[in-house]
A = this chain, B = another copy of it.
Amino acid sequence: MASPLQTAADPQHLIEPLTQKLSGVIALTAEERAALAGLQVPSRRMPRGREIVSAGRKYDGVFVLLDGAAIRYRALRNGRRQVLNLVLPGDFIGFPACFYEAALYTVAALNDAVVSWIPFPTLFALLQRQPRLSATLFCCFSSEAAMVGEHLIDVGRRSALERVAHFLLELLTRLQAIGQAAERSYRMPLTQELIGDALGLSMPHVNRTLRQLREDGLVIIDGQHVVIEDIESLAALADFERGYLGRFRIADFLDPG
């Protein structure tokens, strides 16, 4: 089944997760909102498992994930796989690889997802006309880079228990930011095998670690349903600081429009 190309009947709706994300960084003017809405980007449905970006191919633009979830990963020659990050609605797909001759990583849909496509000429024209959006985009890219940085700290210098705890808390915070998590619970989009590939652990050990967290009364996990029982203790265990997911301060340096 070929993925049907949806006509962008309602571009305002389609680009909305991105607009919402950007407006969390600076207060967007009406003109900027109009410029974003005017992008007229087509959206495309991607079935579960489909590769949205394939490592080694080249792309003349960036994708934005509008609905669903995806993972960015690299498959190594020895059969192992490292998941770099989880892509959630509003996130760009293609950074930082999009400017390279060949994509560095593969991005695959975790479940049925919707993505839109912004060609480079369109993107650069937008940024040239709306310099404040350009600065905001720097912030978004910074945020993604910071998440990979925290991820590196996780994998490099934390125990399995600390890693999983940190992972669960980061996911809670990110999902809350886009309204897909309650105060202490959410739906886990990854299998235990993928959690292992993200955290540099084997699947059996992910399972054992989750069991330990459960036995310690820190989390409840039933299938995909995750409940954080004791956020304080979990955050202490994981040395979790949500600063890197938080607010930016460039608004002070930009003209109001």
Q: Which residues of A contact B (CB under 8 A)?
A: 58, 60, 74, 76-78, 80-82, 84, 95-102, 104-105, 120-121, 124, 127-128, 131, 134-135, 137-139, 141-146, 148-153, 155-158, 197-200, 239, 243-244, 246-250, 253-254
A-B contact pairs, 7 of them (CB 8 A): A78-B239, A80-B157, A104-B150, A104-B243, A105-B149, A127-B134, A145-B145
Most buried by B among A58, A101, A157: A157
Contacts of A247 in B (CB 8 A): 100-101
For A100, the chain B residues whose CB sits under 8 A away are: 142, 146, 243-244, 246-249
Q: Per a CB cutoff under 8 Å, which of B131, B139, B145, B148 touches A127?
A: B131
CA distance A158 to B80 in the complex (A): 9
Copies in the assembly, this chain: 2
State how many angstroms separate the Cβ of A250 from the closest Cβ of chain B.
5
Instruction: Tell me the complex Cα distance, A84–B146, Å.
Output: 10
User: Is the beta-carbon distance between A157 and B82 smaller than 8 angstroms?
Assistant: yes
